[in-house]
């Protein structure tokens, strides 16, 4: 075998081993962060995702005030990007004071939430 072919084979083998090792390290690194840290990182990556569940105290049309299970209240902003559902699709008129809702959306810096989805429970 010529010296050039041996060198070429050695380069290909080294590249393949480096790539395979990198893939192995990458998959191990992802698995190591699958617990709370992984969930926290995911929440940050999705622009402060928020989920709340509670009883509607008031509805101004553009926001809801919800009493959470711990007794505190949370303001939830609603808009054209907010969907409403129950077992079947519903509209905002189905959300009334005293209703129990589950809200998902984006947490705002002032503690309020901009709703992406509201589910009547």
**Percentage with pLDDT > 70 across the chain:** 59
Residues 63 and 97 in one domain: yes
Q: For 8-58, how does the pLDDT look when each residue is reduced to its tens digit (9 = 90+)? A: 566 665 555 555 555 544 444 444 444 433 433 333 344 677 888 889 999
pTM for the structure as a whole: 0.45
Q: Where are the alpha helices (DSSP H) in the chain?
A: 3-32, 36-45
pLDDT of 1 over the 70 cut: no
Output the domain CATH number for residue 85.
2.40.50.140
Q: For 67-90, how does the pLDDT look when each residue is reduced to its tens digit (9 = 90+)? A: 998 999 999 999 999 998 876 678
Residues 32 and 54 in one domain: no
**CB 73 within 8 Å of CB 103:** no
How far apart CA 107 and CA 51 sit, in angstroms, is 9
Residues 9 and 60 in one domain: no
How far apart CA 120 and CA 90 sit, in angstroms, is 9
Q: Is 62 helix (H, G, I), strand (E, B) or coil?
A: coil
How far apart CA 98 and CA 96 sit, in angstroms, is 6
Residues 36 and 84 in one domain: no
Residues 30 and 61 in one domain: no
Q: What total of structural domains would you count in the chain?
A: 2
How far apart CA 101 and CA 118 sit, in angstroms, is 6
How far apart CA 118 and CA 43 sit, in angstroms, is 19
Give the domain extent around 14: 3-45
Residues 19 and 70 in one domain: no
Q: How confident is the model at residue 63 (pLDDT cuts 50, 70, 90)?
A: very high
Residues 38 and 54 in one domain: no
């Amino acid at each position: 075998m010529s010296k050039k072919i041996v060198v070429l084979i050695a380069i290909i083998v080294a590249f393949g081993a480096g790539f395979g090792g990198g893939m192995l390290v990458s998959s191990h690194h992802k698995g190591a962060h699958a617990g709370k840290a992984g969930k926290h990182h995911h929440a940050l990556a999705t622009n402060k995702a928020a989920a709340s569940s509670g009883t509607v105290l008031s509805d101004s049309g553009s926001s809801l005030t919800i009493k959470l299970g711990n007794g505190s209240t949370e303001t939830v902003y609603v808009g054209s990007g907010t969907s409403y559902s129950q077992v079947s699709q519903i509209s905002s008129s189905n959300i009334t004071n005293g209703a129990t809702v589950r809200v998902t959306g984006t947490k705002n810096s002032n503690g309020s939430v901009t709703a992406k989805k509201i589910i009547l429970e």
